[in-house]
Structure 1
C-alpha cells in the first residue's frame, strides 16, 4: 500500500516549472525543497521585485480534507506569531485546485546543508550560543501556546550566524483548555528533546573518530561538565526540564564554564 502511495505521489507531485507565474504575480525561480506535505519555491514578486517563498500543498494531499486542514493550521500558526526569526506570512491563494501561501524569504544556509555539504564545524561555545537563540524562539512559541514538534537541523536557516526557524507543518497551537497540563508538558518536552538533538549535531561537527566502535556521546565528545549536564536533561537521561527558564539557567552555567555568558 505504501509503495502504491509513493508511486502515486511520484506522478502527481510534480513541481511547478521555473519561469511559471503563480497568481499572476509570482515568478517561480526554483524549488527550495520538498517535504511530506508541501513543495517550497523561491519566487520573484513581480510587483515589488522582492524574492518571496511560496509553499504549495502537495497535489496528492489536496483531495483530503484532513491534509488541507493541516496546511491551513500551519498558516494560522505562523500568522499568530510576530517574531523576527520566523518567516512572515503575506497571503494565501489557490490555483488549478492547488493551495499556496506566500511568506518572507530568509536568505541564508540550511543548517543541514552547512553541516553535511559545506562541512562547517561548530565549537562548544558557538553551539551553545546557537542553542540559546533557538531557545529564545521556542520560549516565545510556548508563551503563545504553540509547540513546533519538528525542531530539526533541516528546519533551521543560518543567516549571518544566527538561526531562523522554518517549517511549522507539524506544529500545534493549544487553544483554551483543549489539553490538560500533562499533555502540554509532553509537547514542551518534545521541543526540548529536539533542542538537545540539535545541540548534539552541532557538537559532533568537530568530532573525528579513528575508532571503529561507536561509543555513547558522553564518551566520544570532550565537553564541559555543565554542557554534559544540560544535554542529559534535554535528552531526558536526567530529570527533564519543566520550562525554558530552567534550561536557561543551565545554559548560562555551561557558557560561563567556557568563559562566556549571555544576557
Structure 2
C-alpha cells in the first residue's frame, strides 16, 4: 500500500507538464499544455527557427521512460501517422529523442472539437445535421480503413471542425488490421464489454465508436421530458431508419461489415430526408 502511494506521488511529480516558454531541442518553445493521456503529454509549441510556426508536440511521460509499452505506443503512433497522407489528418513533422524522453511534432489543426462545441459553446444538432456530419466523417474514416488501419478512438474530443470541414486527430490507439489489440498480450476479455467493442482491431470497433459519436450529436438537441431513465431508442425522437442505422453501428443488430455499407445507408437516409422536404 505504502509502495503504491509512493509510486503514484513520484509519477505525479515526474509528469508535471513543462512550463510555458520552455525550449525543446533548441527550437520548439512551449506555448501551452493541451492535454495529458495515459502515456503522453501534448503541447502547443512554436518553432522559433521557422517564423514561429505552430505545431503540436507530444512527449512520452517521464514516469514511463522505462516502460516498454509506452515506447511501443510512441513508435506505433509515429509510424502510422507517417504512412497517412490526407488533408483531414495532421501530418507528422519530426520525431526525436531529447533529454531522456521521446517526442514528436505534428501539424497543428486550429479549430473546435465537438466536445468544445457541445459542452462549452452550447451547439446543438438536428437529426439531419448529425447525419450530414457523420457522412463527412465517414469519408475520412474510409481513407483510414482503406489503409487497413483502425482508429479505435473516434470520440468527440478527437474530431475537430475548421470552417465546416472535419479533421481527425489522436492516433495513439490506432492499429493495423491483424495487430494485437494491445502492445502487450493483455486480454480484451479483462475489460468491460463496451471497452472491448471499442478496442477490437476490427472495422466494426470504429463503427461502434461512431455510433456513440452520433448519439452525442443527437442528444445535443434533446430535452428530457421525464426523470425516468430510458434507453436512447425510447428517448430520441428520430426516424425509424436512423434508429436502424444506429442499432447496426452499436452492434445491437448484425453490424456493418464494411464502411461502404455504412456510407450507403447514411447516404440513403439523407436522400430520404431531402425527398421529404
TM-score of the superposition, structure 2-length normalised?
Answer: 0.86
Structure 2 residue aligned with 1:168: 171
Aligned equivalents of 1:37 and 1:166: distance in 2?
A: 16
Q: Pairwise mapping of residues 57-206 of structure 1 onto structure 2 (< 5 A)?
A: 57-174=60-177, 187-206=202-221
Distance 1:45 1:124, change over 3 A: same
Q: RMSD of aligned C-alpha atoms?
A: 1.9
Q: Spell out, residue by residue over 1:48-106, the C-alpha distance to the aligned partner (whole angstroms, 9 max, x if none).
A: 22111101111111211221011111000011100111110011122110111010000
Is contact 2:177–2:202 with CA below 8 Å preserved after alignment?
A: no
Give yes or no for the alignment of 1:258 onto 2:261: no
Length, aligned pairs only? 254
Aligned equivalents of 1:53 and 1:23: distance in 2?
A: 14
Aligned equivalents of 2:268 and 2:177: distance in 1?
A: 32
Structure 2 residue aligned with 1:35: 37
TM-score of the superposition, structure 1-length normalised?
Answer: 0.91
Give yes or no for the alignment of 1:18 onto 2:20: yes
Is contact 2:27–2:47 with CA below 8 Å preserved after alignment?
A: yes
Shift of 1:254: 1.4
Q: Spell out, residue by residue over 1:30-49, the C-alpha distance to the aligned partner (whole angstroms, 9 max, x if none).
A: 01111111111111111222
Is contact 1:224–1:258 with CA below 8 Å preserved after alignment?
A: no
* Deviant stretches of 4+, over 6 Å: none
The residue matched to 2:106 in structure 1 has which SS?
strand
- Structure 1 residue runs of 5 or longer lacking an equivalent are 180-184
Is contact 1:226–1:257 with CA below 8 Å preserved after alignment?
A: no
Is contact 2:125–2:221 with CA below 8 Å preserved after alignment?
A: yes
- Structure 2 residue runs of 5 or longer lacking an equivalent are 181-199
Is contact 1:130–1:162 with CA below 8 Å preserved after alignment?
A: no
